[in-house]
Amino acid sequence: MIPTSTILLVIAGVVLIVGTCIGLIMAVRTYLKYPSKSLVTCPETRKAAAVHVDAGKAARDVLQGKHVRIHLNQCSCWPEREPCGQECLSQIENDPQGCSVWGIAQHWYRGRACAYCRKPIDKIHWHDHRPALLSPENKTVRWSEIPAEKLPEVFETHLPVCWSCHMAETFRREHPERVVDRPWKRGAMGEYIDESEETRESQPVHE
Ligand SMILES: [Zn+2]
């Protein structure tokens, strides 16, 4: 016959393990809920700001059974506007993934054609090479190298470029003596053009 105290001890142990597992799952879900970098409209400047939610603290609050209140630990408007009321947090709380810099870039690229090879740029995976942008000055740059708070205005003025063409154009720019150029097949921004087309398309090929 198993002593009652042993049974109670086993039940308490099971409850503790299950409770710990549930707590850990909730903490991980809270941590993953907030993107590594978010883009918001600063309520004070009315301009885009790149911010980072302290997801680690939110996860620790979950583990400690506290009420979770998210905070920023980085903002492109700091230190000039620090400390602020962090009113922009409501934008992230309402739509964490919609504010994600990664998600915003993915949405912009998806279905758009590369300015050089005209191939559509499909979904960007984290393990893929990052696509690039073609500036009005005819220079390509990876989108991830641009400060996130500048992306909204950059997306208005730049064209999408796939990774392969970005590498080819970078080589061409840095080693012009080793490249045979064909200027009659390039547009005003240096992009390749299909001679059968009269206008350059920069719009998505399918939406
Ligand atoms: Zn391309």
pLDDT digits (tens, 9 = 90+) for 41-79: 999 899 999 999 988 888 888 888 888 888 888 899 888
How far, in Å, is the centroid of ligand 1 from the Cα of 187? Answer: 14
**The two three-digit tokens of residue 154, written as one number:** 């950059």
Euclidean distance between CA atoms 169 and 199, whole angstroms: 22
How far, in Å, is the centroid of ligand 1 from the Cα of 131? Answer: 9
Query: Is 161 within 8 Å of 140 (Cβ atoms)?
Result: yes
Write the DSSP symbol of residue 40. Answer: E
How far, in Å, is the centroid of ligand 1 from the Cα of 110? Answer: 14
pLDDT digits (tens, 9 = 90+) for 69-111: 888 888 998 888 878 889 899 999 898 888 999 889 989 998 8
* SS (HEC) of 130-174: CCEEECCCCCEEEHHHCCHHHHHHHHHHCEEECHHHHHHHHHHHH
If you compute the radius of gyration of the chain from its CA atoms, what whole number of angstroms results? 25
pLDDT at 160 exceeding the cut of 80: yes
pTM of the model: 0.69
Write the DSSP symbol of residue 150. Answer: G
**The two three-digit tokens of residue 197, written as one number:** 């087309």
Euclidean distance between CA atoms 120 and 49, whole angstroms: 29
Termini Cα distance of the chain: 70
Q: How confident is the model at residue 183 (pLDDT cuts 50, 70, 90)?
A: low
Euclidean distance between CA atoms 71 and 59, whole angstroms: 12
How far, in Å, is the centroid of ligand 1 from the Cα of 27? Answer: 41
